[in-house]
Amino acid sequence: MTTAAFTPDTLLRLAEAGLDPARLPAHVAVIMDGNGRWAGQRGLPRVQGHMQGVQSVRRTVEECCRLGVGQLTLYCLSSENWKRPQTELDFLMALLEQYLVEERAEIMGQDIRLSVIGRRDGLSANVLREIDTSIEQSRDNTGMGLCLAINYGGRTEIIDAVRTIAARVRDGKLDLDQIDEAVLSSSLYTSGIPDPDLLIRTAGELRVSNFLLWQISYAELWVTERCWPDFDIPTLRQALHDFARRERRFGGLK
């Protein structure tokens, strides 16, 4: 991304934050971890952590828009999360539906393009309706892309991509020797979305948890001990500052 892509207002905000536009990640992905831990540390029900986490989502989306980040991807619900108690899952579905409805005006006002990755199986009819409505209404927006990973698993995504490619080969639409990285990338849920430059994980965990396994091959990893409900603008800016100081060689030499 070059400075020509930023508006004067965005350049001013970047300057105020001490960030170099040329060193800003074009795509930031976030593993939002620690909602339940945050609640437990305060003697609160786990659902309170999820409710507080929504505020961090709002802050992060708004700040990334303000700073001119081109794409933000948030890991909302993994395919493994279905192992949690049904009462918690029911609450998460209701909270997700509420978020989609309440944030729709903000998405349109900020010119955000919404997308969702993951399997639709298991999601409630209400959530699917609100997802489809928000995607359709924001389809022609030209601002930041906001991707929500819901019922998502990286291995599942790769399996689905392989099935898609295999079907094309079976149907005579693709030769085996034509299969390369570009073909696989275009068959993933994230087709058309650039790979993340920066992967942020909260709550101090040092693993990628089956998130964007193909796409984060060359992403810079940044971990904070803060649980997701405590993830604030200064912490986000610290991640961006640390990213700007890193030397990215992509396997080559300086």
What is the reported pTM? 0.94
145-152/27-31 β-pairing: unpaired
Whether 15 maps to a domain, the answer reads no
Whether 111 maps to a domain, the answer reads yes
- Mean pLDDT, the chain, whole residue set: 95
pLDDT at 1: 38
| 252 vs 254: CA distance, rounded Å | 7
The DSSP call for residue 69 is: -
Condensed to tens digits (0 to 9), the pLDDT of residues 105-129 reads 999 999 999 999 999 998 999 999 9
Show the domain range for 65. 26-153+196-241
pLDDT at 84: 87
Whether 137 maps to a domain, the answer reads yes
Of the candidates 20, 33, 90, 140, the residue annotated as catalytic is 33
Place of tokens 């970047």: 14
Known catalytic membership, residue 33: yes
pLDDT at 81: 85
145-152/113-117 β-pairing: parallel
| 16 vs 38: CA distance, rounded Å | 31
Whether 3 maps to a domain, the answer reads no
Known catalytic membership, residue 141: no
- Find out whether 101 and 137 touch, Cβ atoms under 8 Å: no
Whether 252 maps to a domain, the answer reads no
Whether 19 maps to a domain, the answer reads no
Whether 82 maps to a domain, the answer reads yes
Share of the chain above pLDDT 90, in %: 91
The count of domains in the chain is 1
pLDDT at 3: 41
CB atoms within 10 A of CB 89: 16
Of the candidates 9, 20, 35, 81, the residue annotated as catalytic is 81
Sheet holding 220-223, edge to edge: 113-117, 145-152, 71-78, 27-31, 198-201, 220-223
Condensed to tens digits (0 to 9), the pLDDT of residues 121-164 reads 989 999 999 999 999 999 999 999 999 999 999 999 999 999 99
The CATH number linked to 74 is: 3.40.1180.10
Whether 168 maps to a domain, the answer reads no
| 55 vs 229: CA distance, rounded Å | 7
